[in-house]
Structure formats: structure tokens, C-alpha cells
Structure 1
Amino acid sequence: MMSQVASPSISALLDARLAGHSLPQGLYTRPDVFEADLDVLFRKHWIYVGLECDVPEPGDASVVELGTSSIILLRDDDGQIRVVHNVCRHRGSRLLPPGPSVVSKLVCPYHQWTYELNGELVHAPHMGIDFDKSCRNLKPVTFRSIGGLIYVCLSDNPPDDIDRLVEVMERRLAPYDIRNTKIAFQTEVIEQGNWKLTLENNRECYHCSSNHPELCVSFIDLDFGYDPQSLSEEDRADAERHQALYAERTERWEAEGYPSAAVEQLVDCATNFRTQRLIIAGNGESQTPDATAASAKLLGSMTRKDLGDTHLWGHNCWNHFMGDHAVTSLVIPLSADRTLVRTKWLVHKDAVEGVDYDLEKLTNVWIATTDQDSELVARSHAGITDPAYEPGCYSAFTEGHLDKFSTWYIERMRAHGY
């Protein structure tokens, strides 16, 4: 009889990770690791789930599903943002289906228990005159609106280092007034790969020049590292001039009141983020096919198109804020080998399609880039499932952020008992 070899524990897989290398195979592929990831990284940490402009008017609601958890982002009758669990306090039925809804009250379709938009239970038929409705309100979800971006934590003990993200990004996002934008377009792409591969792929531009021709019109891959010894003398001189331009441009932007320098909270922390104002290549205005602005109506109080791209990433999102529009992407793990990437294009709330902006120009670059990345993630996941896979070494020049992400991942799993 052939003996069964026990699979290593999750703890043993975490132990096996080598500094400077990608993760052991099982951390990308095993269903038990996927469930642990959901529990630790998506229930006990702050995650980005949507925007205030997802629910622009009282009665607007949007349901976001995260594994077995489901939450309702909504705007109440007083115009305030609320986030509640999508679980009726009677017998647990879902109140609303996934996606957007418009409601006057939250009415459970099962037994008609009825809640105000602030979560208060106001009607529970056939429960008797002594039934105390006050202790059956919908369970609230802890959330923070950061410049119009909604972050939630499903834990009763949310990490307090979210305060650093708030401090940095409220000021950086203020000129864009994301709270007063609207969603011009949205896509949902299901990548055939583990969510950590989706994040790793986004955190490096080693692959950009050979895979993202549309993005490279406006995005400068050298911004995320290069090996100077691998460049020709001419290319190395160009790279050095670019770095000097960055220093000069960042100093000027900062002096003009636009925070621009890189801020990183990537390891030895709970809330993982990075932000920096990036130079836009070519015509320098926006991430479009010709690097000129897609919308004539600029965001918020912006009066200039030469302020680059304020990028922000977290452990389940990446975002780009430009003078004329913004692109925001949310990552939701679906299984060990399937990941949802939900991307939204934001314009000024008063911008009119066909008058102020052309939708194809607005969306072309990131639709193409997301589709290309989806193929890359699928190829990567397929290779990692091969018995021949073994963790590879990261480039110290172009993949330093991947090493930090993997290190952070190990740290956070350890912090929660794995």
C-alpha cells in the first residue's frame, strides 16, 4: 500500500519562505491557505471596498461580498454614509443581492423585518408586544471614508495604524474631491490566479515595457526601478536625467502645495500602503492613449493638467488620481485560483459623456492593461501549480516591493497565530 505523505502545515509553509524570494507553492495554491488569507487579511485588516460616489443619493445602496461575508454600503436619509452587515437580525437572511440597489428602507424579503437606512429595526411582524426591537438593529461595520474612498474592517479590533493612511491621503486627495465624482464606467475581470499574484503583478513594472504598450505611453516603467549596469551608456544617461527631473518636479510640486514625495508603510505594520505623485510621460496630462486629458472638466478644485498621477496602493487595491479623472481597482479573492478585479473610472459628477469626455479615450488604457495583466496572472498561476515550480529570487532593482509584500504577508499571518 502506498503511504500518504502529510501536507505541511500553513506554519511550515510560512517558515519555508526565503527572504528575497517568491512564496512557497502551497501559499498560492492551497484551499486552506486561501481560507486563512480571507480570515486574516480580509476580515482582520482594513480593506478598500468602494467609494462614497457608489451611493450618491439617500436610499442608494451597494452590496460587496467578501468570501462568506456580505456588507451593505449605503447613504441614509440624512445623507450620511453607513456600512452594515447584510444579515437580517431575525434568522440571518440576506437583505439585498450583490451590486447596487435603491431602497427607501431595508426590508428582509423572507419575513419582512424592516430597518431604517441607519440600521434601526422598526418593524418585526408577529413578534409580540413585549419584543424589544432596540437590541435587533443591523450590525454596523467599522469603516473610514478617506477622501471619499471607503475602507472597512470586519474585526471588532481594527488596526489603529489606519490613522497614518488617513493623515497622508486626506490631504493628497483633497484637490480631486473624490466625494463629488461619479462612476463613468466599471469593469469586473475574474483573473485565473491567486489574489497574491494579482497584487505582486501590480507592484512591479519589470514586465511593463514588453506587455503594456498602451500604458507605457503615459506610465514610466523606470519609476519602479532598473539595473543601471544592464542599460547602455545612452539609456543610463537618460535614466539619470529622469531621476534628476523627478527630484526637481517633486520639490516644485511640494512647494506649490501638492504633497508628492513617496510615503510607504509596507512592512512592520498592519495597514499596508504606498503613495507617490508620479510623472506622466509623453504629453504629461493623463493615462490615455495619447497622454492628454480625457475629460475637459477637471476633478474637484484642479485647474491644472500637469500635476501627474497620484498613485495609491494597499493590499487589496490600486488607484490613480489625475487632474481629469481617476481609476480605482479593488481586489476580492474568490478562491485559491480565482480573483475578482473591479475597476472604476471616475469623472467630475457634472461631466457629461460625449460633451466633456469621450468614454473610449477615458477607459482604453486601463481596460487593455487589466486584460493583459489577467493573462499574465493566469500564466503565472499555471506555472506555480506545476510540480517543477520552486520559489524564484526577486530582482533587487525592480521587484523590491514584491519582497516587501511577501515579507508583510508572512508577518501578518504570524501575528494572527499561523
Structure 2
Amino acid sequence: MLAPLRPDHRELLAARETGRSLPAPFYVSPEWFQHDVDEVFSKQWLFVAAEAEIPEPGDFVTVNFGTQSVIVIRADDNTVRAHHNVCRHRGARLITEPRGATGTIVCTYHSWTYDADGHLTYADAQDSGFDRKCFTLRSVHVRTIAGLVFICLADEAPTDIDEVAEIVEPYLAPHNLAQAKVAKQTDIVENGNWKLTMENNRECYHCNGHPELLNVFFPIWGYSSTDTVPDRLAPVFNRYRISTAELTEVWDRYGLPHRNIFQLDTRPTGFHIEREAMDLAGESFTLDGSLACAKLLTDDLPERKLGRVSMHLQPNMWLHITSDHGLLFSVIPIAPDKTLVRTTWLVHRDAVEGVDYDLNRLTNVWEITNQQDADFVALAHQGISSPAYLPGPYGPSEVLVEAFVNWYITTLRTNMGVAAAEPGTAPMDMGSHMAGKAAAS
């Protein structure tokens, strides 16, 4: 049952002040956490896996948040399916493992058995009028985009996912993620609200706390000209402009799209994507910027130095892709003060560990960075939990944070029927995008 919207919560939602962090209840209140589960994570497209995690028919992963559990499985026809992880007999959870492979989905309670498409194939000791076709697993909307798997739990999913796919696929497709393999996957539980995790990701104002990452990562997000760049970043910004100019010639030569497309808070499935230069050798996320994997993802492109594709998608993912590997991040809320961050490293399917890549070299920079980010999120949650906390202002480089918070507030207002209190800040019209059911693919 959906949690009711308390009058004081309705007022907070209506009165959110643009350009400032959210009031404390949005981060620490159990009721707000339930609103987030019910109105955001249960109604939006969520990134849940790479196709590389389920390369063969019968391979599956399970995705859990709140009381929800979903089976994402590759069917015999090689398509990806998603089903609620609930037996149609008496409701037992079907699969308890986080990942694996199976020929059939068997309920351990009474042995009801389903195929990967969700059809009930066996149910013992039923009466003569029993029709197995009436007890197919409840399906979940699923959409694959260039090797990435997204699901939506709503009866009617936001239909703009097709528009988003059309825009982002040309950026992702040259890196052949659907033909990659998982080199490593890690889970870290951050001691903070999921929105703090996303806000932390959406800015580089804090990036002095990432010395390893800053070897190759230009910390210039949010700055559009040298007029607004702090003096300490002026040399970095100059290197970034020179590297970008050099790489633009390479990108254009190979027909690689690189324009910065920023639609994070102007549509239901908010996203941002661009191709950017990297510092030092400019090839990969290593301490010196040189390749981490000798076998490139970009089979048909001989260039090692392609910078990185950067993509953010609301509400729970971001990624970075270089010529030699992909980095995928997904965020799942666990509790008001607990958030699961999953990182997946992808390499070429034929790359051999110890021959083409050293696993520690491949993962070291981001494993260190992930722990640093977890520490920052914990500090933020601790401070916001204090009665002394008041919402603070976002600076010029925190434009993606404002976009995330604006998207979040607009989504809640739209789904919960709350109008903005301030003139001129009414929610964007999402109705046309919410009108139809998204087709599974």
C-alpha cells in the first residue's frame, strides 16, 4: 500500500527552493524513503544490469529493493525478459540467489515450474479445470539499450525511453558493450540516503578528495567558460580545451558523436550524455591514463585514445566508457540511510585476465574512488541528520546536482498530484510520456 502524503510533506514538496539542497526530511524520514520507493523507483526506468551479466539463455540476475524482487533472465530466443520474483501459486519467492543460470524457474515450496518466458510448465495435483496459461509469472517492462538492461515496475512505463535510446545508442554502440564480458563486479553499501549518493556523483566540486581519479579526470563539470573557472582550475581547464580540440578531430574522423546532450530534468527519463577528453595519456582510468586492457572494446577502431563516454540517467545510474573498458554504476535504495552502489567493469569478451589486463590495474582507481565517495556520503548524511542542518546553496559547478534534485521533485509532484507553490515553477508536463505501456524488447 502506498504511503499517504502527510500535510507537512505536501508543503515541503510544493515549496522546494530552487538552487538549494533539500530539507532534511527528504533524506532522513522513513516516510519520504517510502515515497521514493513507491513514486520514483517503482515508476521510472531503472538500470539493473549489463547484458554481459546474462550472456547465455537461462542466465539470470535478481534485483531487490524494498519488498520488490525482479528476475532478469535471458530467454531461449536470446531476448531479455523480466518477471516479478513471486510464485503464482501462493506467492513464495522463486529465486533467492543474486545471479546464476537455470533451465527452468522452480518454486522450492510446491515445485511449480516456469520457463524463462514466465509460462507455467508444471503444477502438480491440480483439478481437471486448471489452466496453466492463467498463471504465467507477472511480467515487468524491460528494455535493452546498447548492451544495458533497464526495467520499469509500473503498469504503464514512461514511453520516452525509445527517444532516449535513439539519442544515446550512437554514443554507446561503438564500444560493443553487448558483446563484452564482466571482468569484475563489486557492491558497496553507503551509509547515506540514495539521493545523497546521486548528488555526490553529479558534481566534481568535491573532487579534490579523489587524488587518484584526478590524474586522468578533468574536474571541470559545470563550468562553461574561463570567466567562471576558479583560478586553481585555470591550468586544468586550458589542458581540457586543448585535449578536447585534438580529440574532436579524432571523433569526427570516425563518426563518433560527442555533443553534450543535457536533458536531465526536462523529461521523465532524464539523461545526460557526452564524449569527453581525459588527462595524461587520455586512454583509460589508470593512474597514468594509459590502457588498462590491451584488447580494445572498439574492435573496428584502432584508436587507443578516445577519451570517455559519460552518461547519467535518472534516477539510478551513471557510466564511463573508454576504448578498452566500460564502467557501469547502479544505485539501489536499501533504507533511508543505506544505499547499495554496484560497480561493473566490462572488457572485450575475448580479453584474458593476466594476459590482456591486470585486474588490479583495471579496477584500482575506481575502487579507491568508490570508497572515498562512500565516506563523503556518510559524512553528508550524518550532518543532515543534525537539527542544525539547513539547506545550502548550489554553486556554479553543481548544475547537475540541481538538475537531479529538480527532476526528483518534479517527478514526485507529478506522480503525487502536488503543484509547485512558487509562481513559474509548475511541474513539467509528463502526461504524454506516461500515456502508454512501453513494449518489452
- Per-residue CA deviation, residues 113-132 of structure 1 (Å, 9 max, x unaligned), is 01112111011111122101
Aligned-residue identity in percent: 43
Q: Give the 3-state SS of the residue equivalent to 1:378 in structure 2.
A: helix
Tell me if structure 2 keeps the 8 A contact 1:64–1:98: no
**Cα deviation per residue 1:339-364 (whole Å; 9 max; x = unaligned)?**
00010111111111000100000000
Aligned partners of 1:327, 1:97: CA distance in 2, in Å? 26
CA contact (8 A) 2:85 2:95 kept: yes
Partner of 2:433: none
2:29 is matched with 30
Structure 2 portions without partners, runs of 5+: 1-5, 419-441
Give the equivalent residue in structure 2 for 1:199: 198
Indicate if the aligned counterparts of 2:298 and 2:324 stay in contact, CA closer than 8 A: no
Paired amino acid for 2:168: M
Give the CA deviation at 1:245. 4.8
Q: How is 1:383-394 mapped onto 2 (pairs within 5 angstroms)?
A: 383-394=383-394
**Which of residues 262, 270, 277 in structure 1 aligns to 2:268?**
270
TM-align CA RMSD: 1.8
Structure-1 separation of matches of 2:115 and 2:184: 30
Q: Distance in 2 between matches of 1:305 and 1:249?
A: 11
CA distance in 2 between counterparts of 1:223 and 1:37 reads: 27
The match for 2:257 is 259
Amino acid across the alignment from 2:393: C
- 1:405 paired residue number: 404
Q: Which residue of 2 aligns with 1:122?
A: 121
3-state secondary structure, aligned to 1:340: strand
CA distance in 1, matches of 2:415, 2:29: 18
Q: With a CA cutoff of 8 Å and minimum separation of 6, indicate the structure with the bigger relative contact order.
A: 2
AA at the equivalent of 2:296: L
Residue matched to 1:331: 331
Query: Residue 358 of structure 1 aligns to which amino acid in structure 2?
Result: D
Offset of 1:177 from its aligned partner? Answer: 0.9
For residues 31 and 171 of structure 2, the distance between their equivalents in structure 1, rounded to whole angstroms, comes to: 39
| Structure 1 residues 130 and 260: alpha-carbon distance in aligned structure 2, compared to 1, 3 A threshold | same
**How many positions carry a matched residue from both structures?**
409
Residue 3 of structure 1 aligns with which residue? none
1: CA distance, partners of 2:188 / 2:239: 38
Corresponding residue number in structure 2 for 1:414: 413
Partner residue, 2:322: 322
Deviation, 1:238, is 5.7
Deviation at 1:305, TM superposition (A): 1.3
Match of 1:242 in 2: 240
Distance 1:321 1:132, change over 3 A: same
Aligned CA distance change for structure 1 residues 251 and 23 (closer, same or farther; 3 Å):
farther
Cα deviation code 1:145-178 (max 9, x no counterpart):
0001001110111111112220122211111111
- Determine the structure 1 residue equivalent to 2:111: 112
Residue 220 of structure 2 aligns to a residue in which SS?
A: helix
Aligned to 1:358: 358
CA distance in 2, matches of 1:172, 1:367: 25
Q: TM-score, normalised by structure 2?
A: 0.89
Contact kept? 2:203, 2:221, Cα under 8 Å: no
* Distance in 2 between residues matched to 1:130 and 1:244, nearest whole Å: 74
Q: CA deviation at 1:251?
A: 5.9
The answer as to whether partners of 2:243 and 2:278 remain within 8 angstroms in 1 is no
Which position in structure 1 is the counterpart of 2:307? Answer: 308
8 A Cα contact 2:82 2:139, kept in partner: yes
User: After superposition, where does 1:135-284 map in structure 2 within 5 Å?
Assistant: 135-208=134-207, 210-225=208-223, 228=227, 231-232=230-231, 236=234, 239-240=237-238, 242-243=240-241, 245-246=243-244, 249-250=247-248, 252-284=250-282
Q: Which residue of 2 aligns with 1:83?
A: 82
Inter-partner Cα distance in structure 2 for 1:22 and 1:45: 22
Residue deviations 1:305-334 (CA, integer Å, cap 9, x gap) = 111100111120110111100110110000
- CA change 1:230–1:184 in 2 (3 A) is closer
TM-score, normalised to structure 1, is 0.94
Over residues 387-417 of structure 1, what are the superposed CA-to-partner deviations in whole Å (9 max), with x where a residue is unaligned? Answer: 110000000x211111111111111000011
Give structure 1 stretches of 5+ with no counterpart.
1-6
Between 1:168-177 and 1:273-282, the stretch displaced more is: 168-177
For residues 152 and 163 of structure 2, the distance between their equivalents in structure 1, rounded to whole angstroms, comes to 16
Amino acid at match of 2:412: M
Partner of 2:311: helix, strand, or coil? Answer: strand
- Deviation digits for residues 91-140 of structure 1 (CA, Å, limit 9, x no counterpart): 11111014112211111000000111211101111112210110101111
3-state SS of paired residue (1:83): strand
